[in-house]
Chains A and B, each alone.
Chain A
Amino acid sequence: MEEKTKNLKAGAVNVDEYRGVWIFAEQRQGQLLNVALELLGEGRKIANTLGLPLTAILLGHEVDEIADKLIKYGVDKVYYGDHKLLDIYNTDGYTKAICDLINREKPEIMLIGATTIGRDLGPRISSRIHTGLTADCTKLDIDMDNRRLMQTRPAFGGNLMATIICPNHRPQMATVRPGVMEKSKYDKNRAGKIIKFTPELEEKDIRTKVLEIVKGTKAQVQLEDAKVIVSGGRGLGSPEGFKLIESLADKFNAVVGASRATVDAGWIEQGHQVGQTGKTVRPSLYIACGISGAIQHLAGMQESKVIVAINKDPDAPIFKIADYGIVGDLYEVIPEFMEALDGIDV
């Protein structure tokens, strides 16, 4: 005990005073995000390893049904902060509500989805609490010997993985990449405790004001949940190539993905991008068309169950990880493939 408290590090705490695994259950306009269920799935494993309860933090206004839903998805306890000023996400209100709770309850671990909002909120909290935060983790483990959260994340464009620890500060905070962790299962019979509270917030605490929310300006691309993804790369030759990709995707009821090169070239919207700087996906079937397979692309799709690659260049790295490869002109192969699919019942 004494060893641990005697610490040179600024802001270090007695880590043994901190217990409990927390996840931030992000909701937007009353809709719980999928990443929250993924955090519940992963959080549950961690909580079980540590023998601790799993707690969800839910903030919003009149979102009681989400609190219930969280219980059914396996959380033991929900801190549900209900406040008019938390209706729409804002940095100041959410940061204050969560920091107050952390300071009072002292959790050991805090996980946040690495969404555009989670990555606004997480750093703000860690900075205020004076603790570490590991960004965009793709793997979490517990080192029981030292009772530490081992937080693994890609860096340098996916060229390198790093495992990060936070030995002397608490909570150990991580944002977790959406689409990577397995979701928890729904169980209508599960019970848990909902602790509803009113965070101490005043108008003047909120220094930025949301004037408008516009959705659907970017096509909703649900890559993370797709069973089948058909992706196009530079080998398409032109933006028109995505029309062929779309028609193939239609056959599978699949979602269209894209390589960074095509997004950078402006052929397709960023929402379609798969890879290190795009989305991480794990569909049952991934069909890569005209994608050479740069490491940064592979980082986002190599967890797919079956990978099919169609590419003109027999030496393309994508063939090294593909289950089935077709060397050839995709403009010849795909139409034949679609015709062959028509011949059977999909």
Chain B
Amino acid sequence: MNIIVCLKQVPDTNEVRIDPVRGTLIRDGVPSIINPDDKNALEEALKIKEENEDIKVTVLSMGPPQADMALREALAMGADEAILLSDRAFSGSDTWATSKALATAIDHIGNYSIILCGRQAIDGDTAQVGPQIAEHLGIPQITYVEELEIIGDKVVAKRAIEDGYYVIEGKMPILLTAIKELNEPRYPSIRGVYKAHEGNRVKNWSAQDIKADLSNLGLKGSPTQVNKSFTPPGRSGEGEILSGSPKEKAGQLVLKLKGKYLI
């Protein structure tokens, strides 16, 4: 059985800073990481591989040449194969064009049973690429997966909703999106790091390699455009710092809130 895991290399948003004047990201010195939800997706694939026989886990990423690092990290975690979809033709893609490119690549790989994606990437937070890939491929999907069981050619998943979960059954081939509750991703092993760097473990594919229709790619293939970006306007409160002993401060606060008819 073949499992394909889609993963994205993202800047660690905890470290991201914004140029306050231009309203753009300062990417210099921000570490790149495997998107966290995607790591959960990979971990699940690796767990399935450990618990079943004859499973091949292929990791697929679309991104600049540097995304090679994310794929090697995935190999160090235990993935069998890695493919980097990298081409200038892909740059500027929105979620529609991204999902189209990934779906085309997945078709090109062929013969898959499960596609695992993270729910959403921390740079964009859209949660759209997974379901859009499923639609392009014409296969069913279960999103927000927090527990997964493989039974023959079926999957049974606990799919999180706001106040509980649905238990959903689906037949392979199927696309699943993982949330962090699904598992605890392993660290790559140090030995795995060295193995991941042996020879040419990451395949590089261009748009031409996957026979992609150029009109569906990049900026040109993207229905949406960023009109502008800016830093969120800050709120400024009255900023009154109450003073005195804890008791006095508490007393003042009660008076203030009373004054605002909040008590």
Contacts and interface: CB of A to CB of B under 8 A. Distances in A.
Are A and B physically bound partners? Answer: yes
A96 B94 CA distance: 23
Contacts of B94: 132
Interface in B19-35: 23-25
Contacts of A133: 95-96, 128, 224
30 contacts: A91-B141, A115-B161, A116-B144, A117-B161, A123-B132, A126-B223, A131-B96, A133-B128, A156-B16, A160-B18, A160-B231, A160-B232, A164-B225, A210-B168, A213-B164, A213-B166, A214-B166, A217-B163, A218-B164, A298-B234, A298-B235, A306-B260, A314-B241, A321-B236, A324-B237, A325-B242, A336-B249, A336-B250, A339-B250, A341-B263
A165 B94 CA distance: 11
Given A120-B143, A120-B144, A127-B132, A159 B254 contact: no
A51 interface: no
B183 to A, nearest CB: 15
B227 A124 contact: no
A166 B128 contact: no
Contact of B228 (A88, A128, A162, A329): A162
Q: Is the interface of A mostly helix, strand, loop or mixed?
A: mixed
Nearest to B13: A157
Nearest to B119: A119
Interface string A17-43: 000000000001000000000000000
Contacts of B238: 323-324
A216 B163 contact: yes
Contacts of B165: 213-214, 217
Interface residues of A, number: 93
B96 A161 contact: no
B38 to A, nearest CB: 16
Interface of B is mostly: mixed
A88 B168 CA distance: 11
Contacts of B96: 126-127, 130-133
B223 A326 contact: no
